[in-house]
Structure 1
Amino acid sequence: AMGTRMLRTWIERPLISEVAIAKRMAIVQLFLDHFFERSDLIEALKGVYDLERLASRVSFGKALPVDFLQLAHSLSNVPAIKNILELLPQEQMKQLIERLDALPELADLIHQSISEEASRTITEGGIIKTGYNPQLDKYREALENGTSWIAQLETTEKARTGISTLRIDYNRKDGYYFHITQSQLDSVPEHFFRKATLKNSERFGSQELTEIEEIMLEAREKSSILEYELFMSVRDQTEQYISRLQALAKTIAEIDCLQSLAVVAEKQGYVRPVLTENSRHVEIKAGRHAVVEAVMGAQEYVPNDIALPEQTDIQLITGPNMSGKSTYMRQFALTVIMAQIGSFVPAESAALPIFDAIFTRIGASDNLISGESTFMVEMSEANHAIQKATSRSLIIFDELGRGTATYDGMALAQAIIEYVHEHIGAKTLFATHYHELTELDQTLEHLDNVHVATLEQNGNVTFLHKITEGPADKSYGIHVAKIAGLPSDLLERADLILQKLENKPLPAKKVEAQEEQLSLFDIDENYSEIIDKLKDLNVDNMTAREALNFLWELKDAL
């Protein structure tokens, strides 16, 4: 549990110091190279409970006896962890070994004071070990003697009265009593006095039984109070070790994280990346998305190279829907995060700069409670990246500008690309369906076009999920709609509209105004010859036969 929390913290706050990252990676490499020592370490770590939680319970005064037993058990495993680490080359492990404080004084205190058979409650006794406190031992001796006195009295009274079924019982209401059935009531001696009458039996007491009961109840009451006070004293003494416990917990959590990274690197075939603070060159060979690969399996996932040379700041990514553009970008960002927490990465090789931050705009979401539409959220997140990013940052923009009208979105997308190129210089992956933007490589020196390859045969499209150089030729949106199961007549209609849109030149007046929307049914251009004939026709002077003939001519022309 401690390692889980620390790993989450590492992922949320990756390192930006090359020295600190290299130190973690060196230890991961060490664990990777020493399989048997790592296996022993894993077994030793299994014996460590959640020290952070235990320390918290102690500091808030909520620790129970079982918490102290878990604490002592955990501390007893620290020397074994330390011994295993000392078997490894100590230069990399030295600091971790020095921080492994076994707290022997606290371990001794718990071992001497808390009984291994202690219950989870602190009011019913049985918490403190015999031998820890002399007074408590005396009370316990009295209780033990009282028990033997009770047994002896029961035997004596059986013999004296001749009642073979006589027995001494106890409950909170009546205390200790002789239990005698109805059939034996004639044999009850005079020195017995009645305590309670039941349906089939009666309860009696005697002077001797009362004296024994008083001794035992006094011992039980005082021992319970004393035991509670002793337990509270142990808890108070443990509070003095809280800071050391927290430091130990942090060290063990760090060891757990590092060995876990080694286990995953070995299991998934990850490699140690090369990180440089002074270079902005990115070169990932056969990179994979760690999470998608874990779900799909290594055999199904298609790896991709990611190359952004020193002079390339922006990679403009085009290609069909569902072809893997978003996965490619997320894969890059996730690889950066993994590298900068000290982990090995899913690739054949990886050379990366150290990024100071990652800014993303991925997916479509809104914030309606605050009055923000999807597009407003999109622009806000884009603005956050533009305002905060530096030349050492990584920016991931996926389909920016799609939440508004075509020309608005395209204009904003182009302006953002140009601004990042001219004013920020951050490494940027920008996925888009605006194919017009691919021409920016002619005017922006540090922008390259890449696309996701597809294979089209006999009207069927296969997504290859491979990134290749250059822009894509089209988006295959209708093909994706077909995969989604839309009706065939709807898809045929969409394909017809698409062909008309792609074959029709855009009117110059619409480019200038940018206020009118593109018409799907511009009859003036498609049927201008027929319209001219209709305009010239003198309907008032036509005979019925002439009108019918003209109608046939129109039909033939259409």
Structure 2
Amino acid sequence: SGITTLKIDYNRKDGYYFHVTNSNLSLVPDHFFRKATLKNSERFGTAELAKIEGEMLEAREKSSTLEYDIFMRVREQVERYIDRLQSLAKAIATVDVLQSLAVVAETNHYVRPIFNNEHRIVIDQGRHAVVEKVMGVQEYIPNTITFDSQTNIQLITGPNMSGKSTYMRQLALSVVMAQMGSYVPADSIDLPVFDAIYTRIGAADDLISGQSTFMVEMMEANQAIKRATPNSLIIFDELGRGTATYDGMALAQSIIEFIHDKVGAKTMFATHYHELTALSNTLTHLVNVHVATLEKDGEVTFLHKIVDGPADKSYGIHVAKIAGLPADLLERADTILTQLEGDTVTIQPQEKVSPQEKTVTETHVNEQISLFDDFTENPVLQELRDLDIYNMTPMQVMMAVADLKQKL
């Protein structure tokens, strides 16, 4: 044709065609016929190209038909050996899983678990398999977990970021690994056989269907306490924080008591409500443990080690410091905390003007009532209960309230 840039292309609409740019249209041979016109080029065909195209498309269709015929013959042949193939596949899969567990156990120095019928958990220097893998063996701090046959609940206190959640998940993961036939990351491990693990860990919500984080939390807690048996394991992390302090503490306490008295499952319950640690005085199957900390010269180090007894204090302001909050904000928080921890605290507005210009009213707030201390009820409360306000005039109600206020 004399067209140096002549090339053959293909698409479904035009099939195979010669692609000729506008600058070469004068060189197009007479036996070319136009198939399509574009902005900068035109497409042409020939009788010979059409013949080749037909042969190629026919060959492609025959090839596809031949492939399918061969596939059908192979399938029929395989069908005669299906039982043997499935048996072989299951054997290979089983060997694959066991070999994987064996390699992991040998590489990471796991131990073979033993099981008991005494409802006892004894894990010596246990580790969290996944966290250890991410951090490295040298950095991960192992923890011993002990529940004797008479201990059903561990109440865990300690600051955020100190390792409470890892400690609890470590137990749950160790149970799963042991009962699936794996060795476990620990120096030794002795477990009962659990029928289920129920957890409430982390924050989640389902806002699309109108369920808040706290609602989801309560629903998951409900599933656990209704379905769990004495042979179950329950992991509750910070239950009750999604509502007011008294609400949350009351719910947390009642859930602990319900599990203790009516469920009997082995339970780990992490909380920031230090008041709950007094439950060990009345619940015989509950023990307190906490995350050890080292405090020196105003600096706090989390040791990530679980030890017996309740935590002596919280370290929320220290965690806020680690997060990088401004120093003057943290100093103000420390001042407020000191005031709130007193028997009677005075809440003072932060100074924004000079003392000479400032005129403020100080509000005295009584210390938060403990859930566990005995206290004498003010007789005014009984008088308030006895008021039959539905059979009183508004003026009588006002006079009665004024009288009660005077007595207070």
Compute the TM-score of the two structures, normalised by the length of structure 1.
0.51
| Bigger share in strand | 2
Equivalent residue number for residue 167 of structure 2: 328
Matched, 1:253 2:93: yes
Q: 1:424 aligns with which of 250, 263, 269?
A: 263
Equivalent AA in structure 1 for residue 327 of structure 2 = S
Q: 1:496 aligns with which of 335, 338, 358?
A: 335
CA distance in 2 between counterparts of 1:221 and 1:470 reads: 79
How far did residue 524 of structure 1 move?
4.5
Equivalent AA in structure 2 for residue 327 of structure 1 = T
CA distance in 1 between counterparts of 2:67 and 2:256 reads: 73
Equivalent residue number for residue 265 of structure 1: 105
- Please list the CA deviations of residues 298-330 of structure 1 after superposition, one character each: whole Å capped at 9, or x if unmatched: 000000000000000000000111110000000
Q: 2:278 aligns with which of 439, 449, 454?
A: 439
Equivalent residue number for residue 290 of structure 1: 129
How far did residue 520 of structure 1 move?
7.6
Matched, 1:360 2:195: no
- Please list the CA deviations of residues 247-269 of structure 1 after superposition, one character each: whole Å capped at 9, or x if unmatched: 32122111100011000000000
How far did residue 238 of structure 1 move?
1.7
CA distance in 1 between counterparts of 2:108 and 2:262 reads: 40
CA distance in 2 between counterparts of 1:233 and 1:520 reads: 88
- Please list the CA deviations of residues 223-248 of structure 1 after superposition, one character each: whole Å capped at 9, or x if unmatched: 99778645532322223433442332
CA distance in 2 between counterparts of 1:334 and 1:461 reads: 29
CA distance in 1 between counterparts of 2:63 and 2:239 reads: 73
CA distance in 2 between counterparts of 1:427 and 1:356 reads: 11
- Please list the CA deviations of residues 505-542 of structure 1 after superposition, one character each: whole Å capped at 9, or x if unmatched: 49xxxxxxxxxxx978792549xxxxxxxxxxxxxxxx
CA distance in 1 between counterparts of 2:214 and 2:62 reads: 72
Aligned residues: 304
Compute the TM-score of the two structures, normalised by the length of structure 2.
0.69
How far did residue 391 of structure 1 move?
0.2
Q: 1:411 aligns with which of 250, 262, 271?
A: 250
8 Å CA contact retained: 1:317, 1:431: yes
Secondary structure of 2:341's counterpart equals: helix
Q: 1:402 aligns with which of 241, 245, 248?
A: 241
8 Å CA contact retained: 2:196, 2:232: yes
Secondary structure of 1:503's counterpart equals: coil
* Identity among equivalent pairs (%): 69
Equivalent AA in structure 2 for residue 383 of structure 1 = N
8 Å CA contact retained: 2:178, 2:184: yes
Equivalent residue number for residue 459 of structure 1: 298
Alignment of 1:43-54 (within 5 A): none
Equivalent AA in structure 2 for residue 489 of structure 1 = D
Q: Structure 2 stretches of 5 or more lacking a match?
A: 1-29, 33-46, 49-59, 350-360, 366-408
Equivalent AA in structure 1 for residue 121 of structure 2 = V
Q: 2:228 aligns with which of 381, 389, 397?
A: 389
Q: 2:120 aligns with which of 281, 292, 309?
A: 281
How far did residue 350 of structure 1 move?
0.4
8 Å CA contact retained: 2:347, 2:364: no
CA distance in 1 between counterparts of 2:161 and 2:73 reads: 65
Q: Structure 1 stretches of 5 or more lacking a match?
A: 1-195, 205-219, 507-517, 527-558
8 Å CA contact retained: 2:153, 2:268: yes
Higher mean Cα deviation, 263-272 or 249-258? 249-258
Question: C-alpha root-mean-square deviation of aligned residues, in Å?
Answer: 2.9
Equivalent residue number for residue 371 of structure 1: 210
Assess, with a 3 A threshold, how the Cα gap between structure 1 residues 421 and 236 changes in structure 2: closer, same or farther: same
Matched, 1:341 2:202: no
8 Å CA contact retained: 2:336, 2:347: no
Assess, with a 3 A threshold, how the Cα gap between structure 1 residues 256 and 489 changes in structure 2: closer, same or farther: same
Assess, with a 3 A threshold, how the Cα gap between structure 1 residues 231 and 422 changes in structure 2: closer, same or farther: closer
CA distance in 2 between counterparts of 1:231 and 1:351 reads: 54
Equivalent residue number for residue 158 of structure 2: 319
Matched, 1:239 2:79: yes
CA distance in 2 between counterparts of 1:283 and 1:380 reads: 31
| Bigger share in helix | 1
Secondary structure of 2:220's counterpart equals: helix
8 Å CA contact retained: 1:501, 1:520: no
Assess, with a 3 A threshold, how the Cα gap between structure 1 residues 252 and 418 changes in structure 2: closer, same or farther: same
Assess, with a 3 A threshold, how the Cα gap between structure 1 residues 225 and 262 changes in structure 2: closer, same or farther: closer
Secondary structure of 2:205's counterpart equals: coil
